[in-house]
Amino acid sequence: DTGVSQDPRHKITKRGQNVTFRCDPISEHNRLYWYRQTLGQGPEFLTYFQNEAQLEKSRLLSDRFSAERPKGSFSTLEIQRTEQGDSAMYLCASSFGTTGDEQFFGPGTRLTVL
Amino acid sequence: RKEVEQDPGPFNVPEGATVAFNCTYSNSASQSFFWYRQDCRKEPKLLMSVYSSGNEDGRFTAQLNRASQYISLLIRDSKLSDSATYLCVVLAEFMDTGRRALTFGSGTRLQVQP
């Protein structure tokens, strides 16, 4: 499968714990995005990488959230001291170059904070 | 006011019916427009782009009215497999970061019944 992959697919954690999610984009795609989606809502933008550079962060991304893309390939999203309000589907998407209008989404990581 | 607004539905229609979804957007600088389809607990997938001249892909027709900031999707001869949530999506480019930002509506749920 050469699409966007995410790991894990599901994560259940207790409030206050740290969690880390991984995204592997389509190999030739230089742009990578993280979104969060809650029930009944469309995906909301969290952060964006072009190659290894994190160029933008949404104000939705509090100080407890950090994302990296160290070699311009896979990316990680870490949430520290999780809260129940962090429960959501975390989606990763990638696109290519200057014409990257079509973003290809991974299957998402569903986070449940108890 | 949300940047992209859609009627959440659900739209319950019989097989073979024609159904239309509408969407309005508030950012007049939006450059590109799309309809994404999202099945329950799955990732969004691009259904079709929307062009100013209107475009058709099989049973699906998309229209854009830039003056009214309005997008529509028409599905003819509905199939059971069309049951999903349809997300209206607009794209704007942020010149400072190069981010091509997708803003999603909350989606319109379609249930096609036998």
Mean pLDDT of chain B: 91
Residues A12, A21: Cα–Cα separation, whole Å: 12
**pLDDT tens for residues B66-87?**
999 999 999 999 999 999 999 9
Does A50 touch chain B if contact means CB atoms closer than 8 Å?
yes
Whether residue B93 is predicted with pLDDT greater than 80 in this model: the reply is no
Q: Residue A82: which of A108, A113, A107 has the closest Cα?
A: A113
Find the residue in A nearest to B32 (Cα): A101
Interface test with chain B among A6, A41, A54, A94, by most B beta carbons within 10 Å: A41
Q: Which of A41, A55, A105 sits opposite B99 (nearest CB)?
A: A55
Scored b (16 or more CB within 10 A) or e, A22-42 reads ebbbbeebbbbbbbbbeeebb
Q: Do A100 and B107 touch (CB under 8 A)?
A: no
Please count the helices (runs of H) and the strands (runs of E) in chain B: 0, 11
